[in-house]
Copies of this chain bind each other. A is one copy, B any other.
Amino acid sequence: MDNTQGKRITMAHGAGGQKTSELIGEIFKKYFDNPHFTKDDAAVLARPEGRIAMSTDGFIVSPAFFPGGNIGELAVSGTVNDLSCMGAEPLYLTCSFIIEEGFLISDLEKIAESMADAAKEAGIEIVAGDTKVAGHGQADGVFITTAGVGVIRDGFAPSGTQAKPGDAVLVTGDIGRHGCAILLTREEEFGISADVKSDVAPLWNLVSAVRDSGAAVHTIRDATRGGVGTVLYEISEESNVGIRLDQTKIPVDPGVAGVCGMLGLDPLYLANEGRLVIFCPKEETDTVLDALRSRKNGEGAAVIGEVTDLNPGIVTLKTEIGSETILPKPGGELLPRIC
């Protein structure tokens, strides 16, 4: 809008009438415009060139703006990354906004701009959307739900069930930054400050680089809610294998490590929004690392462990002093709550 300064969302913006049209035209269409973007009931799209993958994710992060990103970037990246982990090239995205009455329109505009940037980076088109307004106090700022469609090329179909003994376990960068960044925005709650930025990013560029390297990748998963530790437990169960981590090899930003030390948290359980866990045969490790390290958001890729046929369903950790312990299995409510 020409001047959104100080203007706020009203119930009329969600009523489906003229104010809704104005909001779509002046904010969403402005940033999301592409040949497929529709104000119609549904976007009409070409027939995909293969099997499709479909995914959805809802985002209720509070605060909506945090060091390193905002809820819009998160909502695009989350669904892009879910598709990417299935080996699906992201094609089309829908986004649905539930906005609290009184939300600043200038903040909504910043969010829309970030979504457009993230979508462009991922090569996904935002094709349809929806806007609802909840009364003051009936929602917390803004909630965004995205759904995405991607296309799967034959021959590349990583899955959580395909991890095999002898695989190397990789991460694409240092872990725990998103969870830590959100935690730090609640300074009044935790009483500490540190310079930590969220890792939020769309990661199709990394997955496509790995695919194009020709390496035989077994499993790719983004380590979001619950962090790397939770994701590794899921994969160990789905593939019925054991996983041995080497604590000294797990990359952790010094700021994140400091905060975790002060609060007694383990970075393995902090959320990431721009980090993948990748399983591949050991002999493919160098090919995969080379593919990752030459790309944005993959510079810090590292091998952190291996898959074994001992202790299926269990993740163990070789600690800094050389002893081996069982990584505690995550359960119940995770701290801090960041989604």
- Chain A residues with CB under 8 Å of chain B are 10-12, 14-19, 40-60, 62, 81-83, 85-86, 88, 92, 94-98, 127-132, 134-135, 137-140, 143, 145, 147-150, 152, 157, 159-160, 221-222, 224-226, 230, 330-334, 337, 339
Contacts and interface: CB of A to CB of B under 8 A. Distances in A.
A50 B44 CA distance: 11
B134 A17 contact: no
Given A140-B139, A145-B145, A339 B16 contact: yes
Given A18-B332, A54-B149, A59-B132, 12 more contacts: A15-B332, A17-B226, A17-B330, A17-B333, A17-B334, A19-B331, A41-B221, A44-B157, A54-B128, A58-B130, A137-B137, A149-B149
A177 to B, nearest CB: 17
Contact of A60 (B98, B152, B157, B160): B98
Nearest to A95: B56
Q: How many copies does the complex hold?
A: 2
Nearest to A131: B58
Nearest to A139: B139
A16 B53 CA distance: 21
B333 A152 contact: no
A332 B127 contact: no
Q: Which 10 interchain pairs have the tightest Cβ spacing?
A: A16-B225, A147-B147, A42-B55, A56-B94, A145-B145, A41-B82, A138-B140, A58-B96, A12-B333, A42-B53
Contacts of A98: 58, 60, 98, 143, 145
B94 A55 contact: yes
A80 to B, nearest CB: 11
A135 B337 CA distance: 10
A46 B129 CA distance: 24
Contacts of A225: 15-17
A146 to B, nearest CB: 8
Nearest to A145: B145
Contacts of A334: 15-17
A140 B134 contact: yes
Contacts of A135: 140
28 contacts: A11-B337, A12-B333, A15-B226, A15-B337, A16-B225, A16-B226, A18-B331, A19-B331, A19-B333, A40-B159, A41-B85, A41-B86, A41-B222, A42-B53, A42-B148, A42-B150, A43-B53, A44-B53, A44-B88, A47-B49, A54-B94, A54-B127, A58-B97, A59-B132, A60-B98, A60-B139, A134-B140, A139-B139
